[in-house]
Amino acid sequence: MPHPIKGLFALAVMHACVPAWAQLASAPLDPPVWAYPVNPPGFQLPPDDGSVRRVPDSAAAYSIAQTRDRFLAPDWHPADHAPLPGVVATGRKPGVSACGYCHRAEGTGGPENAGLAGLPFAYIVEQMVDYRSGARSTAVPNRAPQVLMIASAKAVTDDEVREAAAYFSSLAPRAILRIVESGEAPKTTVANWVLARVGSGEMEAIGHRIIEVADVQEHFESRDTHASFTAYVPAGSVARGRALVGGSDPATPAACSTCHGPDLRGLGAVPAIAGRSPTYVFRQLYEIQAGFRSGPGSAPMKEIVARLSHDDMIGIAAYLATLKP
């Protein structure tokens, strides 16, 4: 009997008929900078002053160096979940980052990457296969979150993939998002691949953007799974997204519930889309449309996203983020 992951890998290679260079050549040249924050030249993290980080409702304490170590997943709330598998807790040097470092110990993720909690086991495995084969890449390849993800996918073993997928799929997703429709949003800067409020609290016109920021930046930087976020979206986005998701807008040929389930919390191996980071959802819609996700699982989405504008994608992402995960 063929190995399940190797079998999926072979299938992905067969379906990934568009090489990476062709995807890059045919993709739009304007991935929105708000959706793909890139550290500016010369960016440096604040110096480690030797202090200890703490977060609310936790007895744990981690040094700043520990919260920045990609081979360690700070586990602030261990009573909330089962013990972390080794690949989630510490990864494997030199090439496999701890899954819980980027995606957090409870799979909550952040605007810069995927929330994994509650995703189907088979879906997580399939995405790792797509990253290995090149069927899944990114529109802005110099962003560290995607660089580390692709490198880890190529270095991880099949057993480690199964261990991580079993762990994350067993978790209940956490509601950590608040959506605000507004003509204004906080003025932001790029802080380690995500948007963060500038210290003055100044507001600016939102335009055609989603501005998703941590409510307490230090908690998010400390990789606290209870860290919450507020996403500012243009006025009217939620209603627009509701129509698109429901299939009542001609830009979408079918309701999202057809594949993602009546409550949009997943169906079989199809992932949940309710309550997810709107910045992340926007990027996935954009990358499927632009050809950066070409694995077998993304094939049914091609027709769905083909006619979507950026504003349509913002609306869909905004509406989905208002739903209970």
4-41+56-169 and 177-321: identical CATH topology:
yes
Name the CATH architecture for the domain at 4-41+56-169. Answer: Orthogonal Bundle (1.10)
The CATH code of the domain at 177-321 is: 1.10.760.10
The full length of the chain comes to: 325
Mean pLDDT, to the nearest integer, of 232-239? 98
Give the Cα separation of 67 and 61 in Å (integer): 10
pTM of the predicted structure, to 2 decimals = 0.90
For residue 240, is pLDDT > 60?
A: yes
- Domain boundaries of the chain, sorted by first residue: 4-41+56-169, 177-321
Residue 257 in tokens: 């519930």
The contacts of residue 314 (CB under 8 Å, 6+ apart) are: 208, 209, 210, 233, 234, 237, 241, 278, 282
Q: What pLDDT does 253 receive?
A: 79
The residues pairing with 293 across neighbouring beta strands, listed in sequence order, are 136
- DSSP-H helix ranges across the chain: 4-15, 20-26, 64-67, 86-89, 99-102, 121-133, 144-155, 158-169, 217-221, 237-246, 257-260, 278-290, 301-305, 310-321
For residue 140, is pLDDT > 90?
A: yes
Mean pLDDT, to the nearest integer, of 280-307? 95
The residues pairing with 205 across neighbouring beta strands, listed in sequence order, are 184
Give the Cα separation of 25 and 180 in Å (integer): 36
Q: What pLDDT does 254 receive?
A: 86
Q: How confident is the model at residue 251 (pLDDT cuts 50, 70, 90)?
A: confident
Which residue carries 């190797």 as its tokens? 6
